[in-house]
Structures are given as structure tokens and as C-alpha cells.
Homo-oligomer: A and B are copies of this chain.
Amino acid sequence: MTNTESKTAPRRTRQRAAVSTVMATLDEFRTAQEVHAKLRDAGDPIGLATVYRTLAQMAEAGEVDCIRTPDGQSAYRRCSSGHHHHLICRYCGRAVEITPTSFETWANQVAAENGFTQIDHELELYGRCANCALAR
């Protein structure tokens, strides 16, 4: 109360820890449903809604990345570090993490030219990966 800006750290619960652990061990993007199934299989009872809520919060907190699979599901993967973007294959959905170096520079320059500050951006690249190029 009183303070609109106060942010309390999420409570340490078994479920949250479980999701964190699973995400920490995964290198690939996984949907909320897959994470949920994995936890259930591991004998870790958890509600689907809780997985959704937890993953959304982790994404908000920048602990995991969130993309959309070609068939419209949300997929999450732990963040390697800092701010980055993805190069996504529109055929198989494979995503490559890319580090925007020159891009950040370009963005800031364009912003400055237009008198903008506090720049943030949303960027995704879509294309056809080498594998899918062969398949066709």
C-alpha cells in the first residue's frame, strides 16, 4: 500500500522453485504445457495455471525469454544473458539467439535524430533456416 512503486519479491514456494529448476536445465524453448507435463512426470504436482503464471512472471522479470511457436503456443527458455533477439525459422520454428551490437547503435542513432530518449525495441527476424532450405 501507500507506495505505488514498491515491488515485493515473489515468495519462495515449492512450485516456483520447481519451475525455476526445470527452466535452468533446459536449453531449448519449451511451451508452458510441456513444462507442466515435465513437472508432473517428475512427480512434482503443480497446477497448469501456476506454470503459466510463473513463466509469465519469470519472463516479465527477464529470467526467461518468450517466443511464439509457429502453431501459436508460447514457448519459454532461460535467458543466457542481457538483452538479445531471435532469428526464427518460419518453417520449423527453430530460433537462434542473436546479439544486437550494431543494431543497438543504429536504433539509438535513429532515436536521437528524432528527439527520442529512453529507447526500447521489439525485434524479431524471420527467415528460412538452412535445414528447411534443403527440405524444399
Q: Which residue of B lies closest to A110 (CB)?
A: B98
The complex is assembled from copies of this chain, and their number is: 2
Main secondary structure of the interface of A (DSSP, over half): strand
State A133–B103 Cα separation when bound (angstroms).
24
Cβ of A13 within 8 Å of any chain B Cβ, yes or no, is no
A88 nearest CB across to chain B (Å): 9
Which B residues touch A111, using CB under 8 A? 87, 125, 127
* Residue of B68, B116, B125 touching A121 (CB-CB under 8 A): B125
Nearest B residue to A116, CB-CB? B127
- Residue contact B90 to A67, C-beta cutoff 8 Å: yes
Among the interface residues A116, A117, A119, which one has the most CB atoms of the partner chain B within 10 A? A116
Q: Are A125 and B98 closer than 8 Å at their CB atoms?
A: no
Specify which chain B residues have a CB less than 8 angstroms from the CB of A110 in the assembled complex. Answer: 87, 98, 125
- Chain A residues within CB distance 8 Å of chain B: 65-70, 72, 74, 87, 89-90, 96, 98, 102-103, 106-107, 110-111, 114-130, 133
